[in-house]
Amino acid sequence: MKPVSPCVLLFRMEAARRETRHHLDRIHRQITGRAERRAATEKAKARSHRRGRSRWTRSDEQLFQDHVERLSFERRTEIAALARKLQHQERAITTMRLMLGDDAGNAAA
């Protein structure tokens, strides 16, 4: 088995971190989308409204925020695990950059 170049290892670590970050962002988008759909469904609007005026009211926003909190709470273990993984990856990347020196870390980034 060939030894892996530290620069290649750093590149792979950064790719894994980006993937974890995308996964965490996807979860937040799913929660936001689902909360918005629930709020709109729960409080159906009248079909007629004035032009240029938003149909989204303060009570709708409060309902939306309640749904976001509830959905985030339901997925809290998954979110926390990904957040811990992201922190671990960032620490490992920082350590690797320090080992390689600033020039190698900037060239890989």
Tokens standing for residue 105: 């870390």
Residue 52 lies in a domain: no
The answer to whether 10 and 108 are in contact (CB under 8 A) is yes
Contacts of range 68-72, beta carbons closer than 8 Å, 24 or more positions apart: 68/31, 68/32, 68/35, 70/35, 71/31, 71/34, 71/35, 72/31
Q: Which helix (H) or strand (E) holds 82?
A: helix 76-100
Determine the structural domain holding residue 22 and report its residue range: 6-39+59-108
pLDDT per position as a tens digit, 6-50:
889 999 999 999 999 999 999 999 999 999 999 888 876 544 556
Q: Is residue 70 in a domain?
A: yes
In a domain, 96, yes or no: yes
**52-107 confidence digits (pLDDT tens):** 666 778 888 999 999 999 999 999 999 999 999 999 999 999 999 998 886 554 55
Q: Give the distance from CA 49 to its chain's centroid.
A: 35
How confident is the model at residue 104, as a pLDDT? 52
Q: How many domains does the chain have?
A: 1
